[in-house]
Amino acid sequence: MSYFTDLTWHDYVKDAIDVGIVSYLIYQMILLVRGTRAVQLLKGIFLLVAVWALSTWFNLYTLKWLINQLFPLGILTVLIIFQPELRRALEQLGRGKLFSRSFTMERDAMSEQIDDVIKAVRYMAERKIGALIVFERSTGLTELVESGVRMESKITSELLINIFTPNAPLHDGAVIIRGEQIMAAGCYLPLSENPFISKELGTRHRAAIGVSEVTDAVSVTVSEETGQISLSLGGMIVRDINEESLISKLFDELTPKTAGRAKEGASVSSLWKRKGGGNG
């Protein structure tokens, strides 16, 4: 207790800053591994630490000795297992991106993004060009991005159409959108294993459902057989969704949650009606 009584206000400020910096670093590390397989490995590490703490508390000597023997090897194992995440963190730190703002966009930017996506989707649906567009949300899709061809390009309807044009090198994979960028194209997604999915749905639709089962991503699919547009979210799929409903749902799911969102979503739908959008 004498330590605290001897502290000055300068010490309190210094300690608060120290704790704040460490907390922020931990938060950034969590953001870095969120949505990757590293999350499951972290859970296993935390479980081992919890077992070690319990063995110390209850004086379980044999268990404590065993875990103590594993710790030195565990440090090396962690460095090997988390090598991709550590490399990515150092690269982002070198570019000055580790402490950049989140991918939450302003509503005007989101409206422009949805505008370009809908233009592309409408064009491809009319011509029965198959497409799969995935919007990343809070769950990171870094591992899926790395399975494709990294682009980090501005979202435009022309670029999306060119990517999915038949016989183009990347037309069979998925496009992943993060914030205001097309992060990658030609990406491989996990297929849904839900036995109740309609047999009519092919690989593209199963991939759209699959990624929505394991993450909170939103997927838009265009069927190359029927030209129908589908929306996948939370392991569910809405087939043959009309354009107005698609715009409203995308705006609702991809913008920050505020009281005025519904009103703005309605205004976006009205804007598309004036531009000639309809039920697709």
Q: How far is CA 93 from CA 29, 71, 86, 148, 244, in A?
A: 12, 28, 10, 23, 41
Question: Pairing mode, if any, of strands 131-135 and 174-178?
Answer: parallel
Q: Quick one: which of 12, 32, 217 has its CA closest to 142? A: 32
HEC string for 208-276: HHHHHHHCCCEEEEECCCCCCEEEEECCEEECCCCHHHHHHHHHHHHCCCCCCHHHHHHHHHHHHHHCC
Quickly state the pLDDT bin for 269 (edges 50, 70, 90). Answer: very low
Distance CA 114, CA 81 (A): 37
Q: What is the pLDDT of residue 59?
A: 86
Quickly state the pLDDT bin for 32 (edges 50, 70, 90). Answer: low
Distance CA 3, CA 77 (A): 38
Q: Determine the average pLDDT of the residues in 105-127.
A: 86
Cα dihedral 43, 49, 52, 54, rounded to 10, equals: -80
- Cross-strand pairs, 178: 181
Q: What is the pLDDT of residue 76?
A: 77
SS3 183: strand
Domains plus CATH for the chain?
Answer: 2-95 (no CATH), 107-274 (3.40.1700.10)
Q: Are 219 and 212 in contact (CB under 8 A)?
A: yes
Q: For 171-230, how does the pLDDT look when each residue is reduced to its tens digit (9 = 90+)?
A: 889 999 988 899 999 999 999 888 888 888 899 999 999 999 988 899 999 999 999 999
Main-chain phi, psi angles of 181, to 5 degrees: -130, 145
First to last CA, the chain: 71
Q: Determine the average pLDDT of the residues in 222-251.
A: 93
Q: What is the pLDDT of residue 267?
A: 41
Mean of pLDDT over the chain: 80
Q: Determine the average pLDDT of the residues in 129-141.
A: 91
In the chain, the amino acid numbered 47 is L
Q: How far is CA 26 from CA 12, 22, 76, in A?
A: 21, 6, 20
Q: What is the pLDDT of residue 85?
A: 64
Q: Quick one: which of 119, 103, 130, 115 has its CA closest to 208? A: 130
